[in-house]
C-alpha cells in the first residue's frame, strides 16, 4: 500500500485508511468482534494500512471500544497512526469547551487502550455556535495537549468546506490535519473544485478524505435511513448503482459494484496526490478484502464515464450541516477555483 506524508505532522499514512465508524454499528450491526479483530490485524499485517480513524460519537463510544480491543491485539503501537475526535458526542450533543477537550482525550485513550493519541480532531466544527469557540478555545486546548506530548497532531473535521479557511484564518494555533468528507467522490469533487484542497495543501495541512462512498450513497445497498442527502442526489446515486450492477459484466467481463468503482476513483482520480489518505468505512473482514481488491484492479473507463454522466445533474450537490456561520460558500474565499470536473475528464491512472 502506497504511503504518503500527512502534511507537516511527521506521520506517513497509507493511501487507504481504516474508517472505524462502522465498528460502532453506525451502518448496522457488525458481524462479530472477532471478525473486527481479524479485519484490523489483516489491514495492518497483510495490506500495510496504518491509519485508523474513530470518534467517541460513533455508536456512542462503541467504535472506540471495539477498535481499542482490536488494536490492543497488534502489540506494536508504532504500527499504526490513531486518530480520534473531540467535541461531538451524540446526534445533537456537542461540547467544544476546553475542559471537555481534556476529559474527552483521557476517556478516548482509556477506551482505545493507548497511552498517546496520534491525531485528535475537533469533530464537525460547523456545529459550534460560533467559529470563535473552535478557533479560540477548542484548538488552544488541543494545542496544550500537543505541547505536553499527550497527542501528536491536531485537526478539524466538518462538512461545509468554508469552515476550514474560516477557522484557519482566525486561529493562532497551528493546525496539522483537515478531514473532509463526502466532497471527494464520484458524485462530489468540491474539495478540489472549490480550491480548498489547494489552500490546505499549500498551508502544509495534511488532508484526509473520508466517506469515498458518500456514506453509503455509492453502494449497492444504498444509504442508511439517517443519511441527510437530498432526494434527487439519493435517486441519482441509486440509479447509477443499479446501472453498474447491470452493465459491469458487458464492460469488464466480471461483476463490479458501484463501491468498487467509487473507491479507486476517490483514491486515484481526485486531488492529484494532495490527499494523504482516503478513509473508507470498514465493518468487516470481508469489506476490507473487497476494498483492497478494488484498489488493485484497473478502473474501467467506460463504466466510470457512464456513471459520471449519470451523476452529472447532481454533481457537487450537498446538504446543510451545522450553524448559520458555516453555511456560506467556500469558493469566494479562495483565490481561484480549480476547474470543476477536471479529475473526471480523463482516464484515471
Ligand atoms: P464510507 O463512504 O466510507 O462507507 C459507507 C458505508 O459503505 C459503510 O457502511 C461501509 O462499511 C460500507 N462499505 C465500505 N466498503 C464497501 C464496499 N466495497 N461495498 C459495499 N459497502 C461498503 O462512509 P463512512 O464509513 O461514513 O466514512 C469512512 C470513515 O471516515 C468513517 O468511518 C470515519 O472514520 C470517517 N468520517 C469522519 C467524518 C467526520 O469527522 N465528520 C464524517 C464521515 C466519515
Mean pLDDT of successive 10-residue stretches along the chain, which has 349 residues: 96 98 93 95 97 98 98 94 98 97 98 97 97 96 98 98 95 98 97 95 97 98 95 98 94 91 96 96 97 94 94 96 85 52 47
Q: Which residues are catalytic?
A: 58
Q: How many CA atoms lie within 13 A of 198 on its CB side?
A: 15
Q: Are 53 and 83 in contact (CB under 8 A)?
A: yes
Q: Are 217 and 233 in contact (CB under 8 A)?
A: yes
| Helix, strand, coil % in the chain, rounded to nearest 5 | 45, 15, 40
By DSSP bridging, strand 16-19 and strand 51-53 are parallel
Q: Is 30 exposed, middle or buried (0-12, 13-18, 19+ CB in 10 A)?
A: buried
- Cα of 282 vs centre of ligand 1, distance in Å, is 7
pLDDT of residue 343: 43
The number of residues making up the chain comes to: 349
Number of the ligand 1 atom closest to the C-alpha atom of 220 = 20
pLDDT of residue 338: 54
Q: Is 186 exposed, middle or buried (0-12, 13-18, 19+ CB in 10 A)?
A: buried
- Cα of 114 vs centre of ligand 1, distance in Å, is 24
pLDDT of residue 113: 97
36 lines ligand 1 (CB under 6 A): no
21 lines ligand 1 (CB under 6 A): yes
d(CA 244, CA 258): 6
pLDDT of residue 340: 43
pLDDT of residue 253: 86
pLDDT of residue 346: 46
- Cα of 271 vs centre of ligand 1, distance in Å, is 19
pLDDT of residue 254: 87
Q: What pTM was estimated for this model as a whole?
A: 0.95
What does the DSSP assignment read for 300-318? PHHHHHHHHHHHGGGTT--
Amino acid at each position: 500500500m502506497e504511503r504518503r506524508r500527512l502534511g507537516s505532522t511527521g506521520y506517513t499514512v497509507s493511501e487507504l485508511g481504516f474508517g472505524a465508524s462502522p465498528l460502532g454499528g453506525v451502518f448496522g450491526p457488525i458481524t462479530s468482534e472477532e471478525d473486527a479483530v481479524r479485519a484490523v490485524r489483516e489491514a495492518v499485517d497483510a495490506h500495510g494500512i496504518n491509519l485508523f480513524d474513530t470518534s467517541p460519537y460513533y455508536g456512542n463510544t462503541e467504535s472506540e471500544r471495539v477498535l481499542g480491543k482490536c488494536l490492543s491485539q497488534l502489540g506494536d503501537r508504532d504500527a499504526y497512526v490513531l486518530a480520534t475526535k473531540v467535541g461531538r458526542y451524540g446526534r445533537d450533543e456537542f461540547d467544544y469547551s476546553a475542559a471537555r477537550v481534556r476529559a474527552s482525550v483521557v476517556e478516548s485513550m482509556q477506551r482505545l487502550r493507548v497511552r498517546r493519541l496520534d491525531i485528535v480532531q475537533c469533530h464537525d466544527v460547523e456545529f459550534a455556535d460560533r467559529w470563535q469557540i473552535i478557533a479560540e478555545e477548542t484548538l488552544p486546548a488541543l494545542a496544550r495537549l500537543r505541547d505536553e506530548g499527550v497527542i501528536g497532531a491536531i485537526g478539524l473535521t466538518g462538512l461545509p468546506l468554508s469552515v476550514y479557511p474560516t477557522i484557519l484564518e482566525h486561529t493562532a494555533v497551528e493546525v496539522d490535519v483537515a478531514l473532509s468528507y463526502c466532497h471527494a467522490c464520484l458524485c462530489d469533487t468540491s474539495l478540489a473544485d472549490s480550491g480548498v484542497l489547494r489552500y490546505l495543501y499549500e498551508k502544509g495541512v495534511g488532508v484526509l478524505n473520508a466517506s469515498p462512498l458518500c456514506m453509503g450513497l455509492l453502494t449497492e445497498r444504498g444509504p442508511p435511513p439517517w443519511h441527510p442527502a437530498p432526494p434527487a442526489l439519493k435517486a441519482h446515486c441509486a440509479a447509477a448503482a443499479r446501472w453498474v450492477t447491470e452493465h459491469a459484466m458487458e464492460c469488464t467481463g466480471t461483476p463490479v459494484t458501484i463501491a468498487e468503482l467509487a473507491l479507486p476513483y476517490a483514491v486515484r482520480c481526485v486531488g492529484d496526490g494532495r490527499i494523504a489518505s482516503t478513509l473508507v468505512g470498514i465493518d468487516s473482514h470481508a469489506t476490507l478484502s473487497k476494498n483492497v481488491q478494488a484498489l488493485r484492479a484497473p478502473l474501467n473507463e467506460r463504466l466510470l464515464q457512464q456513471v459520471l454522466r449519470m451523476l452529472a445533474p447532481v454533481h457537487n450537490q450537498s446538504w446543510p450541516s451545522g450553524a448559520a456561520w458555516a453555511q456560506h460558500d467556500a469558493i469566494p474565499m479562495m483565490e481561484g477555483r480549480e476547474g470543476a470536473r477536471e479529475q473526471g475528464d480523463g482516464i484515471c491512472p
